[in-house]
Amino acid sequence: MALSLRSRCLVLLCLTAVHCGHAALQLGSRPVAFYQQSCMDKHQVVGVLRQMEKFLKGQEIRFTEGLRIMKSKLASLQNSVSKLPQADQSAAPTTCPSLDAPAHGTKFGSKHFVGHEVHFVCTQGYQLVGSSTRVCRENGTWSGVSAVCKDISECASNPCQNGGTCVEGVNQYKCTCPQNWSGSHCQHQTQTAPPEWSVMNDPAFSRRPRCAQVNQAQHCSCDAGFHMSGTSDNSICQDVNECEVYRLDQGGKLCVHECVNVPGSYHCSCPRGYKLLPDGRSCEDVDECLSQKHNCSRGTSCINTGGGFRCVNPECPRSHGNISYVKTSPFQCERNPCPMDSRSCHLAPKTVSFHYLSLPSTLQTPATLFRMATAAAPGRPGPESLRFGIAGGNSRGTFVMQRSDRQTGELILVQQLRGLQEVSVDVEMSEYADRSFQAKHVARVHVLVSPYSF
């Protein structure tokens, strides 16, 4: 028979009381409460104690069983965690070791994950030997071979003539000429060569000197822009070629484009399509599109270039299958809605834009030419992630595409463009949400290179 909590307490009071007949709770020497309760006999007390012993034994068994169940669950959890793929030490690596930029060069790309690329270019005066582009492979190694930048020797072409010695400099050279030879390439004999800055073989560049008798002596002089040549008895004024004087003295370019020597002076000229500025030495491109000096027909757009212009009318990609485009502006096409079941249509570019850039051939690299970004419609969230890359064109190795921030990619010119030419590159931007492909946009960039640097 189970006893109530009050009965158990009374049993304990009865066992501890000095007198079984009553019990008192005292504070100091004064009783604060008094009650009387009849104590149970010995057999009842023994029965109660046995029931309490069974109760405690049951509690101990349940506690032990609870510990066993908890240990079993912890062992199962530890076993399942040890089987996760991340814990497999034999799994293939997902990154490649870091690559350093070569001496006298630059590295583009900071990602070392599988499929990512890094690019290398050398500074001016050095030539790249090895792989200019390396890709991180699935086995954790880089494709290609290490890139090294080697010095380009200015004296390799043997520019010094007549036994002259070539001395290397910083991006230049100097010829040390033997006796009786002079000139930048030791091309003139000292005893017979006229001054390099003098015009000697054209009568239009010669003048008679002005002479006067002073104190029974004849004194002759030349006009500004001429110098005295010949003997005192047979002197003549020869034109000073100012263009050549500036070149030989290394005082910089007298004219930005071309210096034209005239008798007693000089003037600067600009190439076709450029105009001379008020300073008399600098040139500026004539914007035929802005000044309406072009002959582009209706329906085409005028694009100004260095020294000229282009009439363009970019066409949308041709329709094929369920994929077709419509021109929404002179320089942009948009894809028509796709059928729900056409995967190829959804993977095709959603927009195709056209861009024309006019660059001088002396533009220093690396140079950022173009930025590509996405913009979400008001009230709609933008894509969670973007991927940028070069999809095509006729300029392999000339450009690289890299991310500048979370929502922007940059097209960077890494190889200098020389002379008059046109190169193109297709840049693509892919949008992802929850790691799922959403849409792709393509920008076709046409770079029109001018041979002039102004």
The DSSP code for 187 is -
Domain architecture of the chain: domains with CATH? 105-151 (2.10.70.10), 206-240 (no CATH), 245-285 (2.10.25.10), 349-374+383-449 (2.60.40.60)
Q: What's the confidence (pLDDT) of residue 37? A: 46
pTM (two decimals): 0.49
Q: Taking the CB of residue 309, how many other CB atoms lie within 10 A of it?
A: 21
Q: What's the confidence (pLDDT) of residue 179? A: 67
Cα–Cα distances (Å) from 318 to 326, 338, 431, in that order, read 10, 15, 23
**Pairing relation of β-strands 436-450 and 351-360?**
parallel
Burial of 248 (0-12, 13-18, 19+ CB in 10 A): middle
Q: What's the confidence (pLDDT) of residue 34? A: 40
- Comparing 135 with 86, the larger pLDDT belongs to 135
Structural tokens at position 231: 């003997």
Structural tokens at position 56: 């405690």
Which of 86-90, 398-402, 448-452 shows the lowest per-residue confidence on average (mean pLDDT)? 86-90
- Comparing 20 with 209, the larger pLDDT belongs to 209
- Looking at the DSSP bridge assignments, the partners of residue 403 are 409
3-state secondary structure at position 312: strand
Which of 166-170, 194-198, 382-386 shows the lowest per-residue confidence on average (mean pLDDT)? 194-198
* Rounded Cα–Cα distance for residues 99 and 133 (Å): 12
Single-letter code of the amino acid located at 31: P
Yes or no: say if 346 and 338 are a contact pair by the CB < 8 Å rule: yes
Please compute the mean of the pLDDT values over residues 240-268 and round it to a whole number: 85
Phi-psi region of 189 (alpha: psi -120 to 50; beta: other; left: phi over 0): beta
Average pLDDT, the chain: 81
pLDDT tens digit sequence for 345-370: 999 999 999 999 999 888 888 999 99
Helix axis angle, 5-16 to 42-82, nearest 10°: 120
3-state secondary structure at position 53: helix
* Rounded Cα–Cα distance for residues 304 and 273 (Å): 11
Which of 7-21, 85-99, 139-153, 350-364 shows the lowest per-residue confidence on average (mean pLDDT)? 7-21
For the chain, give the longest Cα–Cα distance: 167
pLDDT of 422 above 60: yes
Cα–Cα distances (Å) from 5 to 9, 10, 40, 268, in that order, read 6, 9, 15, 117
pLDDT grade for 87, boundaries at 50, 70 and 90: very low
pLDDT grade for 395, boundaries at 50, 70 and 90: confident
Structural tokens at position 281: 């030495």
